[in-house]
A = this chain, B = another copy of it.
Amino acid sequence: MNIVLQTDFSNTWGGVASMKGIIKSVNDSLDIIDLTHDIDKFNVFEASLSLHRVIPYWPSQTIFISVVDPGVGSERLPLACLTNSGKYIFSPDNGSLTHMKKHIAQSRIIDWKYGLRNEGSVFDGRDLFANAAALLADEQITFEELGKEYPVEYLSECEEYSIRPFLELHKTSGFIMTGNRHFGGIELNIKNKDFDNCDFDFGDKVNIVIKNNECILFDEEVKYHKAFSFVSKGKAILYPGSSGFLSLDINQGHFMNTYNVSAGKDYQVIISKKP
Chain A residues within 8 Å of B, Cβ to Cβ: 1-2, 4, 9-14, 16-22, 24-25, 28-29, 31-38, 41-42, 50, 53-59, 61-62, 70, 73-74, 122-123, 126, 180-183, 227-229, 242, 252
Contacts of A50 in B (CB 8 A): 13-14
Would you call B28 and A242 a contact (CB within 8 A)? no
Would you call B24 and A2 a contact (CB within 8 A)? yes
This chain: copies in complex? 3
Contacts of A228 in B (CB 8 A): 73
Would you call B182 and A9 a contact (CB within 8 A)? yes
Would you call B4 and A17 a contact (CB within 8 A)? yes
Would you call B32 and A33 a contact (CB within 8 A)? yes
Among A16, A57, A74, A228, the most chain B Cβ lie within 10 Å of the Cβ of A57
Would you call B62 and A14 a contact (CB within 8 A)? no
Q: With the chains together, A41 CA to B181 CA distance in Å?
A: 13
In the complex, residue of chain B having the shortest beta-carbon distance to the beta carbon of A73? B227
In the complex, residue of chain B having the shortest beta-carbon distance to the beta carbon of A42? B252
